[in-house]
A and B are shown apart, each in its own frame.
Chain A
Amino acid sequence: MGRDKALLPWPKDAGATSAGGTILSFAIKSLSPYCDFVMVVAGKNEDALRPVVYGCGASLIRNPMPEHGQFSSLQTGLWEVLNRGRDSAMVTLVDRPAPHAETLDELVKAFWTRSYGIWAIIPEYQGIMGIPS
């Protein structure tokens, strides 16, 4: 698309201005109230993402082998989750606007009241699954 997808303006009608932001900044701000910390896994786009990540109070993690694909970035982030002494995580993609707060509330509630044997909660909309499907 000629630019990093995480840095596309969001909400679109506000543009990437002080009144608006980017898909990435919107996601960090949306997820922060629900998490102890927000980490962004970057690859070769580390320099481009750094100002937004730090400006929004998140941490930046570098995938040492981004050429191995998106799954390697997920693994990089999850190792860091464990290294920081946590055992659960919210996972999203940088090219996906964060869900609405009501949705995050529902996800968190479902996760913390889940039955034994349930390892994950994945949202679906009209029968279509969210990530990772």
Chain B
Amino acid sequence: MIGREMIEAFLTAPETANAREIEHANQNRILYLPVNDPQVIMNADTPQGYASLESKTG
């Protein structure tokens, strides 16, 4: 979840930037919340990633 300040940080970043760079530049303004939910780090961007979703979420 992002607030107004973070939205503005993303919107004022140059076209060549990426979300990771903006996040890292503002790490002291971000709360990293530990959760017991592996789905927050999963993705299906590759066939292997999609396949792994099944094995990890049952």
Q: Count of A residues near B, CB < 8 Å?
A: 55
Q: Would you list which residues of chain A between 84 and 114 have a CB under 8 Å from chain B? A: 87-91, 93, 95-100, 102-103, 106-108, 110-111, 114
Residue of A nearest to B26 (CB): A119
Are the CB atoms of B43 and A123 closer together than 8 Å?
Answer: no
Are the CB atoms of A88 and B40 closer together than 8 Å?
Answer: no
Contacts of B39 in A (CB 8 A): 96-100, 103
* Cβ-based interface call for A133 (8 A): yes
Complex A-B: 18 CB contacts under 8 Å: A8-B50, A71-B15, A75-B13, A82-B7, A89-B7, A91-B2, A95-B49, A96-B39, A97-B57, A103-B36, A110-B33, A111-B3, A119-B9, A120-B29, A121-B31, A123-B34, A124-B40, A131-B19
For the complex of A and B, the 4 pairs showing the least CB-CB separation, nearest first, are A132-B19, A130-B40, A119-B6, A87-B4
Q: B-contacting residues of A (Cβ < 8 Å)?
A: 1, 5, 8, 11-13, 23, 68-72, 74-75, 78-79, 81-82, 87-91, 93, 95-100, 102-103, 106-108, 110-111, 114-115, 117-126, 128-133
